[in-house]
Structure formats: structure tokens, C-alpha cells
Chain A
Amino acid sequence: MDNVIETRDLRKSFPAKGGPVDAVRGVSIDVRGGEIFGFLGPNGAGKTTTLRMLTTLLPIGSGTATVAGFDVARQPKQVRKRIGYVSQLGGADELATGRENLILQGRLYGAARAQVAPRAAELARLLDLAEFADRRVSTYSGGQRRRLDIALGIVHDPSVLFLDEPTTGLDPQSRANLWDHIRSLRERGTTVFLTTHYLEEADVLCDRLVIMDHGQIVAEGTPRELKQQVAGDAIVISLRQEDHEAERAAPVLSGEPYVRELTAEDGQVRLYVDDGGAALPQLIRLLDASGIGVRSISMSEPTLDDVFLRQTGRSLRESGGGDASKAGDRPATSEPKEVAA
């Protein structure tokens, strides 16, 4: 299918004290029709700025962007007709009911009154809002409000739906529920472009994603492809910090042929091996023989955080970014401290 979104060398900087701040520094992406495409990165990576340029809310600094077949800078009106956008804030009218919000939104997209009422009812059904569609939005729970925001974003059946951090602030159950709704949009042919700082959200929801850091794309692919870049298993060994054991352990372990990448800091050694099961006993024997005391060892399959860590030298969890497990989705498999590349 054709690309629904295409950007080439997209840039944006903002004036600030002490010189301009480059928020987006050369983003080139191709989003195919009918996929869920994700922007993963820590807060401040430039995800929202990029999204706001693609949705006509912010003038493009330089570079080009085409959305739904129209140039964002030159044909913003055409773009607006074909896209839906749900900001982090949502922006539904609290003093109006869900249905009133949907009807107004539909009419702002040019639909006649007679078309809009059945469409509002259909959307309320689709997003499980029917029960309270006639209650004021101020009475909605976080998850209900988020579903209404999405319904408002698709009232005109756009070809692309932009979602900025759609599940931030939701409890795990509402988050999983919203993921199901987003997937069902894809099944009905809508392209979904979302930003997230949740690793798990990017992993389980996105067909393809880019990882963004400091305004640039640092990796691109399907979650599976990205994780395969970090081949093998990640092993984290915690050592006694007070004796600088990690610094002693690093040269011992990095000499081993099966150890692929290794970082050591703050009493932790983090390394990647092809076969974790085979490597673990050997690593323990080696450390034991060198008289280095091990506090704990954990092994995990690579996550998107390992991809981020490898590309940026920092962990997304530590970069002001999110951690889906904080909301209780699943226990963190590894919690590296800040690691020097």
C-alpha cells in the first residue's frame, strides 16, 4: 500500500535564551497505509513537536511532510479534512455530554445534522460509550474520557489518526482496553500514528516504530526486528558496589569470546550473549575464580529498552521516559542504572 505519511529531513527549532533549541533534527519516515506506527522515545525527544507539525498545528521548520497525499505546509486544509488528532490533553467539553461533543465535532468537519446523529451513536457503540453518551463528560473516568477523545478524533472517518501519548495516566486495565480499540481501528483500515514513552505499548501495539532521541531517529523497524538487532540475551550481574567490584569484573568478563557487549557502572555489569542459558554457569565460575562476590544475576530477552540503550547509551526508563511496568503491567526484567557506553 502507498505511504500515508512521508517526511523528509523534517526539522524544527524554537527560539530560546542562549540560542535556538533544535527540537526535531532531520526526521525522515514512511508510514504505510493501514499500519499502527509508533514514535517511541523519552519525554522531550521531539515526538510531540513532530506530531504537531504533521497535524498542521505547528509550522514546519524545514524539510517536507506529506500526509494523506497532501503537502502539510502548502495544503493544510486538505490535510485537516483527512486526519484525526487526539492530543495528550484530549480537549472534550466537560460541560457537554459525550454525544453533544461528538455531534459538534462531526459538524465542524462539515457533516449535516442528519448525518451526524447516527454517526455519533455508531461511534458511541464502537468505543463502548453508549451507556453514558448522554452524561456530561465531567463525570467520565479516565479511560472513558480517553475513548471519547478517540471517538472525537475519528468522527469524520479519517485516513490517518494521530494519537499523542494515548494511554498516559491510565490504569493497566484501561490501557489494555484502549489497545484493543486502537487495533480494531486498524482492522477497519485506519492508519494509526502514535507517540509513546511506554516500552511495552510500542512493543505490543505497533506494527512498526521508530525510536527517537534528541530530535533524531536512532532506530527504525518492527519491534521484532529492533529487538533482533540486540542479538541474544541480556544478563545483568549485580556486584558489591563498595569494593568497585563491577570495575574489576568488567575486564574479566569482556575477555570471554561469547560476551558481545558489556557495560559496567554503579555495581552492575550488563552484557549481551547469544545463549544466556549456556553462558550463565561459565560467567559465575569465572567471577568465583576471580574472587568477585556476586549479589544477584538476572537474565532477560532483549526489550526495546535494550535497543534504546544500545543506540543512545542511556536507558529509556531512566531518561524521564516511561516504564509500562510502573503501572503494573508486568515486573521489570532489568533495571539498569545509568550505564556508560
Chain B
Amino acid sequence: MKTARDVGLLYQRYLTQLLRNPVWVIVGFSTPILYLALFTPLLKHLVGSRGLPTGNVLDLFLPGILSLLAYASGIGPGFSTIFELKAGVIERFRVTPASRFAILFGPILAGLVMMLVFDAVVVAVGYGFGFSVHWAGLGLLAVLLALLMVTTAAWSIATALVTKEISGFAAIANGINLPILLLAGVLLPISLGPAWMRVIAHFNPLYYLVQASRVLAGGTLSGSAVWQAFAVLVPLCLLVLAWATRVFRTAVA
């Protein structure tokens, strides 16, 4: 009860901070739109060839963008945590009786809400260019996107608290960005790659989301990719949240 109230307070605070930062809002909205506008034309002629499915290019590509957005939305809170650590904000909250989980989860929830708004915009724009909308599939996909975003955000916030410096955190975040994104088949399906790549991809949480996202966006709710994604992302999310809360509870010197 108290935890939910504290989450609400800190969620509200973080969302207000986000919305008062116009640069952030503009970049946040334009990035997914740029992906759609600048990458889709490259794929137009690939559809139907080399093992890619036929149909509108967006049906293949847009779910990947949503997955990418979930991952990117999760990394952002890590950077703002470093900033708030430096500004003394985290310490100010930690010395209050506010729930430690709320100090972690309030900002994550705000980031999640913003992500879902961006997702809706991407889907709406995509729809205008021929993306076929399957509501039930997108609804279930939203749950998976939320799971990955929360997992990534909890990880990035806790890593920020442990590294404490922007340089250390940025090095780790950038270091894992590329392998995570390339080994997930975000932009092109991993099935195009060699066998070793397909094996390694199975250690990447984002891979399961991307696989499931294509199935769900196509309107299929019960594919094996879907339950696999839930089987990987639900426990992972709980595990990372528990670890991150622990990091808040123990010393952040």
C-alpha cells in the first residue's frame, strides 16, 4: 500500500521532469519515426527474396522497431540515474522513509508510460503506410515490450548506481548495445544468419522479444516464440528487479 503510494509519487515526479525537458521529448518522438522513414525504403526490394516473408515491409520491420524502442527506453533511465546521483537527488530520496523499490520503480514506470505512447505513435504512423494491425496480438506484445523495458531499465539503473560515473556506465551500456541489437534480429531476422549466430542469439533476452513480436504483430497469439518469450522475460524481469532493489537498499557510497 505504502509502496504503491510511493511509486505513484515518484512516477509522477519523473514523468513531470521528462515532459519539462523539451529536447528529450522531441528526440524521443523523432527517433522511431526516423527509423521508419529512413530504413523502410531500404527494405522494400528485399521483401519476398532470400527467405524473407512476403507482404508489406512494415509487417516485418515495425515489430523490430517496437522491440528496439523497448530496449532503448530501458537504457535511458540509467543515464538519468547517473545525473541524479551527481545532483544528490538519489541521496535525498534514500534518506526519506520512501520505499526503496519505489525509488527504483517510479522512474521506470514513467519511462514505461512514455514508451507505450511512442509505441502507439509508431503503430499509428505505420498503419498509415500499410502496416496491418492485429489488436489482440499488439495487446499481448505490449506486455512483452513492457517486460523487456522494465528489465533493461532496472538493470541500467542498478548498473549506474554501481558504476557511479558516466564514463564507466556509458562504456558498459555502449559495449553491450551492439551485440544485443545485432544478435536479436531487430532490423533483419536472425534466421538469415549462420548457425553459430542463431545459437548465440538464444542467450540474448531481446532475441526472444523480437521473435515473439513478429509472430504477435502478425496476429498469431499462440506460437512457440510467444510462450518462449514469456518464459524467459517474466523470471528475468523479477530477478533483475529484485537485484536492483537490493542495490538501492545497500550502500550507494
Binary per-residue interface labels of chain B (80-97) against chain A in the complex, 1 for a CB within 8 Å, 0 otherwise: 000010111111111111
Residues of A within 8 A of B90 (CB): 91
In the complex, are the beta carbons of A93 and B89 less than 8 A apart? Answer: yes
Report which of B2, B16, B96, B253 forms a contact with A80, defined as CB distance below 8 A: B96
In the complex, are the beta carbons of B97 and A85 less than 8 A apart? Answer: no
In the complex, are the beta carbons of A87 and B92 less than 8 A apart? Answer: yes
Q: Is B174 an interface residue (CB 8 A)?
A: no
Binary per-residue interface labels of chain A (88-132) against chain B in the complex, 1 for a CB within 8 Å, 0 otherwise: 111111111000100011011110000000000000000000000
* Known pairs A89-B87, A104-B13; A95 contacts B97 (CB<8 A): no
How long is the Cα–Cα vector from A36 to B207 in the complex, in angstroms?
A: 59
Q: Is B20 an interface residue (CB 8 A)?
A: yes
Residue of B nearest to A104 (CB): B13
In the complex, are the beta carbons of B16 and A108 less than 8 A apart? Answer: no
Report which of B2, B89, B98 forms a contact with A91, defined as CB distance below 8 A: B89
Q: Is A77 an interface residue (CB 8 A)?
A: yes
Q: Considering only CB atoms and an 8 Å cut-off, how many residues of chain A contact the other chain?
A: 30
Report which of A57, A94, A108 forms a contact with B98, defined as CB distance below 8 A: A108
* Known pairs A87-B88, A109-B96; A96 contacts B9 (CB<8 A): no
In the complex, are the beta carbons of A14 and B97 less than 8 A apart? Answer: no
Of residues 59 through 99 on chain A, the ones whose CB sits less than 8 Å from some CB of chain B are 59, 77, 80-81, 83, 85, 87-96
Residue of A nearest to B98 (CB): A108
In the complex, are the beta carbons of A91 and B13 less than 8 A apart? Answer: no
Q: Is A191 an interface residue (CB 8 A)?
A: no
Residue of A nearest to B17 (CB): A95
Residues of A within 8 A of B9 (CB): 104, 107-108
Whole-angstrom distance between the Cβ of B141 and the nearest chain A Cβ: 33
Residues of A within 8 A of B16 (CB): 95-96, 100
In the complex, are the beta carbons of B91 and A93 less than 8 A apart? Answer: no
Residues of A within 8 A of B6 (CB): 108
The residue among B6, B84, B98, B250 with the most chain A CB atoms within 10 A of its own CB is: B98
In the complex, are the beta carbons of A80 and B95 less than 8 A apart? Answer: yes
In the complex, are the beta carbons of A105 and B96 less than 8 A apart? Answer: yes
In the complex, are the beta carbons of B13 and A93 less than 8 A apart? Answer: yes
* Known pairs A90-B88, A95-B20, A95-B21; A55 contacts B95 (CB<8 A): yes
Residue of A nearest to B94 (CB): A57
Q: Is A249 an interface residue (CB 8 A)?
A: no
Interface size for chain B: under 10, 10 to 19, 20 to 34, or 35 or more residues?
Answer: 20 to 34
How long is the Cα–Cα vector from A24 to B44 in the complex, in angstroms?
A: 66
Residues of B within 8 A of A100 (CB): 16
Q: Is A56 an interface residue (CB 8 A)?
A: yes
Residues of A within 8 A of B91 (CB): 57, 85, 87, 89, 91
Residues of B within 8 A of A92 (CB): 89, 92
Q: Is A58 an interface residue (CB 8 A)?
A: yes
* Known pairs A88-B88, A93-B13; A59 contacts B250 (CB<8 A): yes
Q: Is B251 an interface residue (CB 8 A)?
A: yes
Residues of B within 8 A of A109 (CB): 96-97
Residue of A nearest to B19 (CB): A95
How long is the Cα–Cα vector from A59 to B246 in the complex, in angstroms?
A: 13
How long is the Cα–Cα vector from A93 to B87 in the complex, in angstroms?
A: 9
Report which of A58, A89, A90, A95 forms a contact with B253, defined as CB distance below 8 A: A58
How long is the Cα–Cα vector from A129 to B16 in the complex, in angstroms?
A: 22
In the complex, are the beta carbons of B20 and A56 less than 8 A apart? Answer: no
Whole-angstrom distance between the Cβ of A79 and the nearest chain B Cβ: 9
**Hey, which bits of chain A sit against chain B, CB under 8 A?**
14, 52, 55-59, 77, 80-81, 83, 85, 87-96, 100, 104-105, 107-110, 152
**Hey, which bits of chain B sit against chain A, CB under 8 A?**
2, 6, 9-10, 13, 16-17, 20-21, 84, 86-98, 250-253
User: Could you pull out 20 A-B pairs where Cβ atoms are within 8 angstroms?
Assistant: A52-B253, A80-B95, A83-B95, A88-B88, A89-B88, A91-B84, A91-B87, A92-B92, A93-B13, A93-B89, A95-B20, A96-B13, A105-B96, A107-B9, A108-B6, A108-B9, A108-B93, A108-B97, A108-B98, A110-B97
